Structure 1
Amino acid sequence: MPYRTLSQLPDAVRDHLPKHAQEIYKEAFNHAWDEYADEDKRRGDESREEVARKVAWSAVKQGYAKGDDERWHPK
């Protein structure tokens, strides 16, 4: 299920990521949701949502890192 707004993101994303990182997550998730709609494009038995979630977190981690204070900060 693609996300139309940031308020639709999972609590774990909304509660822990800064707004810009949430935007990155949303866009990456939505793109991956479309990209991996075909089961043949996914590895193993992962669902479409699992793949999209992994892609989204990977995109966030390109520009943000979790600090010692347990908060996410731009790299």
Structure 2
Amino acid sequence: MPYDRLSDLPDNVRDHVPKHAQEIYKEAFNSAWDQYKDPDDRRGDASREETAHRVAWAAVKDKYAKGDDGDWHAK
């Protein structure tokens, strides 16, 4: 289920991640959703959605870090 708008993102992303990082998350998730549709392309028995979320978080972590306040901040 790719995301069309930032407002469609999961609550934990919308509530704790800056807008730019939300955009990164959305684009990475949607790309991974397409890229990993074949189960043979995924690690272990991870679902397509789980894989896409992992890829999206990895993309966010490239430019952002989670602070002590629970929110994400630019590195």
TM-score, length-scaled by structure 2 = 0.96
1:72 to 2:75 alignment:
no
CA-to-aligned-CA distance 1:11-68 (integer Å, 9 cap, x gap): 0100110000000000000000000001110111100000000000000000000122
Seq. identity, %? 73
SS in 2 for 1:15: helix
Gaps of 5+ in 2: none
Distance (Å, rounded) in 1 between the aligned partners of 2:43 and 2:67: 31
TM-score, length-scaled by structure 1 = 0.96
Who is 2:26 aligned against?
26
1:47 to 2:47 alignment:
yes
Distance (Å, rounded) in 2 between the aligned partners of 1:68 and 1:41: 35
Distance (Å, rounded) in 1 between the aligned partners of 2:28 and 2:14: 15
Partner amino acid for 2:46?
A: E
Gaps of 5+ in 1: none
Distance (Å, rounded) in 2 between the aligned partners of 1:23 and 1:4: 11
Who is 2:62 aligned against?
62
CA RMSD of aligned residues (A): 0.7
SS in 2 for 1:65: strand
